[in-house]
Amino acid sequence: MKKKLLAVGVAATLGALSGVSNAAITVAQNGVGHINVLPYYSVQNGNTTLISIANTDEQHGKAVKVRFRGAQFSDDVFDFQVFLSPADVWTAAVTLDGTVARLATSDKSCTLPTSVNQQFVTARLLDANKAQGTREGYVEIINMGDIIKGAAGTANNRTAAASTGVQTALFDATKHVNGVAPCSSTTLIGTGVEPNDLSDSLTAPTSGLTSFATIINVANSKAFTIPGTALVQSVAVPVRYARQANLTTGTVSFPLIAFDAATTADSVFNTATGNVRMYEFDLPDLSTPYGTANVTAQLAELQGILAKASVVTEYATDDSILASTDVVLSQPTRRYYYTWSNVPNDTADPLRTLATVLGATGPYASLVAGTNSVVVGAPTVYDREERTVVDQSSIVISPNPQGSATWTLIGEVSVVSINNGSTPSGALAANITAQDYTFAYNDGLVRLSTTSANGPLPVIGFTAVNVFNAGVGASGTNYGQVLPLKW
């Protein structure tokens, strides 16, 4: 068994690394990078998600784009900008407010808009998903440019001369003084009809961002802390600032708002396909060229460094300790492979906010649009004593009938629960994209396929294990564990 498992692991690793030897973007092993992706947040069933974003750069500030995307189709449900001064940490909590998620922070770092204490936005969620579409998802954290105190030379890769004055003004406006950043509105927002374009106040973005999220359920006394996946770029990156503006036209310098190879690969903004109206706040995203030639090259690099043929994790579902296991498989580039239909039409949707997924391309070409699911290979399961499942008919996706031979990943953030029966998620109480895999063994080791008919999928994530200790106090207590995925 050990030789067989090793062989599978080598094959998976080779599959994941194929084509990335020359990639400029890589996953930072130290957890610090230009871009961070938090694979999961949740406010389902009593969960609250605490988020922390830190700037480890002790000299330069960072202008950071933060975007929450929903678990089902990765629709933008909340985005804003945070200005981190050197060695600054920004924190917030995501809670349930009525039927939708809400952000709350008392942090003193500057943001645009000036207050981000508000409900998430459902404008781009289809009617069938509005009630719960904000409650689970993942988070993009992108350094748009460094904030420095003046500079000699070029301010960024798009302007011919530096502007020491505006660079120093932004640094002073966002640098904490006695624990509070001044957040000068004249510098950050301006006095005109349109908000300031801060591009010339920034220099090329560098590494330094690190982050984590803690999904905590106070009532059930459990918590799961998940580090962000950090992406670092080894070549020069141009300033990627776009205004946090509800505008489709204007003077934004990088570049004029348009769907093209210099801005985004998100074809929902293509007037010939999704036809959703694009705004300045939609940029940058993970597909925006970040030291690469165009969006195609950017996606190719991300696909290469995040693709995995399979992942390995331990699991525990022993009833004697009420153990439950959820495996989160987040796919932060999946959105860029969708094909779209504009539904409803412009008459019924005058603001052009909605589009329906028709299918997908690339590694997701086999996607079933109706369920937003992709068929992957069968899992390989072992118990803790090296026994393995020989008859695959004993492994099913609950509540499918015994003998099912189809395994799928649903949505952008696929949550695979193990041995949890008709309830699709145990440890995390996930709902939107959760499904249960039923195995013959209560505890053990599983290799989950992340390969579709069109190749390995770009996946990040973790395993959440919850166990119950009945011997603590009068009613016992839960313990949450987080296991990193292996491959």
Q: pLDDT tens track of the chain, all 487 residues?
A: 333 333 333 333 333 444 344 579 999 999 999 999 999 999 999 999 999 999 999 999 999 999 999 999 999 999 999 999 999 999 999 999 999 999 999 999 999 999 999 999 999 999 888 989 999 999 999 999 999 987 543 444 334 344 578 899 999 999 999 999 999 999 999 887 778 889 999 999 999 999 999 999 998 889 999 999 999 999 999 999 999 987 665 444 444 578 899 999 999 999 889 999 999 999 999 999 999 999 999 999 999 999 999 999 999 999 989 999 999 999 999 999 999 998 767 788 888 899 999 999 999 999 999 999 999 999 999 989 888 865 555 555 555 544 456 899 999 999 999 999 888 888 999 999 999 999 889 999 999 999 999 999 999 999 999 998 877 777 777 888 999 999 9
Last residue of a domain, one of 288, 322, 350: 288
Phi/psi for 341 (5° steps) reads -130, 135
Q: How many domains is the chain built from?
A: 2
Same domain, 44 and 169: yes
Range of the domain at 428: 307-484
Same domain, 92 and 236: yes
Q: Does residue 1 form part of some domain?
A: no
> The tokens 């929903």 sit on which residue?
70
Q: Does residue 8 form part of some domain?
A: no
Q: Does residue 255 form part of some domain?
A: no
Q: What is the pTM of this model?
A: 0.90
Q: Does residue 250 form part of some domain?
A: no
What is the C-alpha separation between 482 and 225, in angstroms, rounded? 7
Q: Does residue 15 form part of some domain?
A: no
Same domain, 236 and 326: no
Q: Does residue 315 form part of some domain?
A: yes
Same domain, 223 and 320: no
pLDDT digits (tens, 9 = 90+) for 25-37: 999 999 999 999 9
Q: Does residue 206 form part of some domain?
A: yes
